[in-house]
Amino acid sequence: MQQLNRERFEVIFRTEFKALCYLAQKVVKDAEAAREIVQEAFVNLWEKRDSIDQDRNIRSYLATGIYNRSLNWLRDNRKFNVSLLELENLSDSSGIESLDNDHLAETELHELIQKSINELPEKCREVFVLSRYENMKYKEIADQLDISVKTVEAQMSKALQHLRLRLADYIRMIMLIILTFKQ
């Protein structure tokens, strides 16, 4: 039984951290909370390193724990709604698979998204970047740019609308793939 030592722990951390953040964020829809949840799960894994069975699939162990903690976070923050979660098909905690397979698609996607963002009017783009890449909340963005929260809301909606249209073909392709798998 191989011990989970510091080196191996670091390798696991560096390999899995981003994908696990993606998984947590799918559930909690809050980038900071997701990051904290994943960090906590890793600390917990380290604390249990002597008692954990090395033959276990560490990745699915982490994913299950993180999925569970994410649901609890939703519950604690009164954002839990069964029917919406069902719609999002979040009962499948193996969502961790989805970041894995597309290293190629990632750069392509990244370029497409960057291009679409650059097409936005300036204020709109500013708001969008602060939200998605600086993980700021609506209120924080409003304070920073000295505009109202309502304006932030409107700009975000506009941005997502624009992205939705630009990514429509890409999305259709992804949904097709998902459907094929289900068959």
Partner 1 sequence: MDENKSYYDDLLTRYFLGETTPEEIGSLSEWLSRDPLNIKLFDEYRQTWLLTVKDAVSSSIDIDKEWSVMAEKIDQQSSESQVTRSLRKKSPIFLLSTSWKVAASIIMLAVIAAIFYYTTLTPNMVEVYAENGNLEQVLPDGSVVTLYRGSTIEYPTEFQKKERRVTLVGEAFFKVTHDPSQPFLVSGNDVRIKVLGTSFNVNTREDDNTISVVLSTGKVSLFFKKNESEQLILNPGEKALIHTDKKSMQKSVNSDPNYNAWMTGTITFNNTNLKEVIATLEKVYQAKIMLSNGVSDDCTLTATFNHQSFEEVMQVISMTLDLQITTKDNITTIDGACN
Inter-residue contact 24 to 37 (CB < 8 Å)? yes
**Radius of gyration, alpha carbons of the chain:** 19
Between CA 85 and CA 94 the distance in angstroms is 15
Assigned token pair, 167: 């990514």
Between CA 11 and CA 139 the distance in angstroms is 37
* 21 vs 58 by CB, closer to partner 1: 21
Interface map 15-54 toward partner 1 (x if CB under 8 A): --xx--xx--xx-xxxx-x-x---x--xxx-xx-----x-
What are φ and ψ of residue 163, in 5° steps?
-65, -40
The residues binding partner 1 (CB under 8 A) are 6, 9-10, 13-14, 17-18, 21-22, 25-26, 28-31, 33, 35, 39, 42-44, 46-47, 53, 60, 64-65, 67-69, 71-72, 75, 78-79, 81-84, 87-88, 91, 93, 99, 106, 109-110, 113, 131-135, 137-138, 153-154, 156-157, 160-161, 163-164, 167-168, 170-171, 174-175
